[in-house]
Structures are given as structure tokens and as C-alpha cells.
Amino acid sequence: MPFNAENHSPLKPVFFMILLVLLDGDRHGYGIVKDIEDRTDGSMRLEPGNLYRYIKKLMELEYVTETDDRHAPDAEDERRRYYAITALGREVMAREAARMKALAAAAQSKLRRRGSRA
């Protein structure tokens, strides 16, 4: 099925956050959860149940894939699966970032104009 990135824009905030974390490098589930908590000061908290539903969805969309590389090998990590962002996922993120940047710019310019009038 030919993919059209426009169909998936705007991304759900939680998808955006997961992809954002994965742009830093491959993560296992707990890593994703922790990084998101850090970035949002704990306001976005994922539990295993919903995290893996989102990951499943992102994998169906082919934005995310499982990876076999072990980046920080230790005993416990052997049982963990790692997730990586795909090329398609990067493209979607690029478009999303551009869209958000344009929106942010528009908002800022309006806010500035109003500020100068005041």
C-alpha cells in the first residue's frame, strides 16, 4: 500500500514523544518510558499496557521496528526487546517537526504583534 505521510499528520502527542525518544537511539520499553518521563517532567507517564499498544501501532505503521542489536548488554537486558525508528519514521518526524515549526512561528509572530501594540 503506497504510503502517504500526510494521512498521519498531525501525529498523536504520545506517538510524537515515542518517536522523539527513539531519534536519540534505540531503546527498550523501560528506556522509552523513562526518557518520556524526563522530557515531560513526569506529566506523560506510560504503563506497560498502553506503551506496547502504541508500539504495536507504530510498528504496524512501519515507523518503528524491533532491533536485535544490544546497545548496553547486561544480564537482564537479554530478555528485553529494543525498538528503533525506521527511515519512514524519520520522514514522518521531519514533516511533523516542520509543521510544528511553522505553527510555532505563526503563533510567535502573532504574539509579538499583539505585544508591540500593547
Partner 1 sequence: MSGRTKADRACDRYRALLRVFPPEFQHRFGRSAVELFRDRYREAAAHGPAAVMWLWGRTVVNVAIHGGLERTATAWKRLLRMRTGMWGDVRAALAGARRAPGFATAAIGCLALGIAASGAVLTLFASAILRPLPFPDAERLVRIWSEDPGRELRGELSYPDVQDLQQSVTTLDRLAATARARQYLLSVDGARRVEGEAVTPEYFELLGIRPYMGRLFVRDDFAGDAAATMLLSYGTWNAYFDADPDIIGSVVNTADRDYTVIGVLPAGFYGTIEEDIPDLEFWVPIAHELTANQMVRRDIAGIWTLGRLAPGVTLEQAASEVRAIGARLAQAFPDTRGPYELRIEPMGANWREGLRQQNYLLLIAAGLLLAVATANVAGLLMTRTFDRRRELALRAALGAGRARIVRQVFIETLLLTVVGAAVGLGLAPGILRAFLRIAPEEVPLYVSMSPDVTALLLAAGVVTVAALVATAAPAAVGLRVSPGHVLRGGGRGATSARNERRAGAVLVGAEVALSTVVIVFGGLLLRSYQSMTSADLGFRSAGILMMAIFPTERDVPEAQDLPAFNERLRATVLAEPGVEAVGLIWPAPPPSFGIQTRIFFDRMPDDVREHGLGVDIRGADPSFFPVMEIPLRAGRNIEDGDRQGEAPVVVVSESVAQLMGGAEAAVGQTIETRFAPLRIIGVVADVVFTGPVDRRPRDLDIYLPLSQIPERIVSMVIRTAGDPNRFIAPLRERLVRLAPNSPLDWVSSINTELADRLEGRMFYVVLLGAFAWSALMLTAVGIFAVLANQVARRSGEFGVRRALGAGQTRIIIDVMRRGILVSGAGLLIGAVGALVTGRLLRSAIAQIDSFDLVAFGGGAAVIIAVTLVASYLPAARAARVAPVEALRSE
Residues of this chain that interact with partner 1 (CB under 8 A) are 28-30, 33, 47-53, 55-56, 76, 79-81
Q: Give the separation between CA 84 and CA 25, rounded to whole angstroms.
A: 7
Q: How is residue 12 annotated by DSSP?
A: P
**Shortest CB 59 distance to partner 1, Å:** 9
Nearer to partner 1, 70 or 110 (CB): 70
**Shortest CB 96 distance to partner 1, Å:** 24
Grid coordinates of 70: 544490544
**28 - beta bridge partners?**
82
Nearer to partner 1, 81 or 112 (CB): 81
**Shortest CB 109 distance to partner 1, Å:** 40
Nearer to partner 1, 33 or 92 (CB): 33
- Contact status, residue 62 vs residue 43, Cβ threshold 8 Å: no
CB-based burial, 97-107: b 16+ in 10 Å, e otherwise: eeeeeeeeeee
**Shortest CB 85 distance to partner 1, Å:** 17
